[in-house]
Copies of this chain bind each other. A is one copy, B any other.
Amino acid sequence: MKFRRSERLVDMTHYLMNHPRELVSLTYFSQRYQSAKSSISEDLVIIKDTFESQGIGTLQTLPGAAGGVKYIPKVKKEYAEVFIHHLCQLIADPSRLLPGGYLYMTDLLGDPQILNEVGKHLASAVSDRDIDVVMTVATKGIPIAQTVAHHLNVPFIIVRRDNIVTEGSTVSINYVSGSSKRLQMMSLSKRSLKEGAKVLIVDDFMKAGGTINGMVNLLAEFNAIVAGTAVLVESEYEEERLVDDYISLIKLTDVNVKESKINVAAGNYFTDQSNFLYGK
């Protein structure tokens, strides 16, 4: 069956959105739609222009016989500002305050629209890096890792604080939780990570950085490489942090339980211009 341009545009948009960062050959599309490569190329120009103007992302075209096209999710700076401002407002809601100064964020970590944006923003920030796997620690990091992995189109793996029989043999390490200074254990299934893999560490929350530092140490046991660290929320921390190089969407600057006040600001996301499709 031959496709008309309008049908090709709808199906290609769907296909590209479901296969981010994957090189798709023009031959594939040409056969899928029984259409000439020249028509496919014209379609891709329309899609690229629309993706860029609407802040969906961009298409990278690789010429030559082994070439093709890749959809790269990338946010526009003006959209990122709106989204991060919206997140700040949600997080600053004083009803989130729990005993001990903890913040209730479970609703945000279970909202598919918010997760989709968080994943797209964080993936956008590392879009020029070579990443094989996203890694997080159970439980609250999982939704973030899953959405980032979706937008990067790579697998994600889950470090656990318990030891469970359905993971096979595991590698475990002890680590010191940075802020509470408690000794804890984390383990990762042996077969879930290959030697030399480039790993993006992801978590929902970072204070002293102890948990993330634990994951860095665990990666060393696997001879794997840290390709970056990305968190949804970082919290102000007076002492020296165990992790310096990271991306954060949101920064908790002050939590005052007595006055029921939560102060939040944008994280360091905006300091690196390469996170954005364009913007100033």
Contact = CB atoms under 8 A, between A and B. Distances in A.
A62 to B, nearest CB: 21
Interface of A: 5-7, 9-11, 13-14, 17-19, 46-47, 49-51, 53-54, 56, 98-100, 102-107, 110-113, 115-116, 138-140, 142-143, 146-147, 149-150, 153-158, 160, 164-168, 189, 191-192
B166 A10 contact: no
Nearest to A12: B10
A190 to B, nearest CB: 10
Given A142-B142, A154-B112, A158-B110, A98 B166 contact: yes
Nearest to A103: B166
B49 A7 contact: yes
Contact of A17 (B14, B103, B106): B14
B139 A160 contact: yes
B112 A10 contact: no
A107 B143 CA distance: 16
Given A98-B165, A104-B167, 6 more contacts: A9-B13, A102-B165, A112-B150, A139-B142, A142-B142, A146-B147
A17 B139 CA distance: 28
Contacts of A99: 165
A115 B140 CA distance: 18
Nearest to A166: B102
Given A100-B165, A104-B167, A110-B192, A6 B5 contact: yes
A10 B149 contact: no
25 contacts: A6-B6, A6-B46, A6-B50, A7-B53, A10-B10, A10-B13, A10-B51, A13-B13, A14-B51, A98-B167, A102-B165, A106-B157, A106-B167, A106-B189, A110-B156, A110-B157, A110-B158, A112-B150, A112-B155, A113-B153, A139-B142, A139-B160, A140-B166, A146-B146, A146-B147
Given A50-B11, A158-B139, A112 B146 contact: yes
A183 B53 CA distance: 56
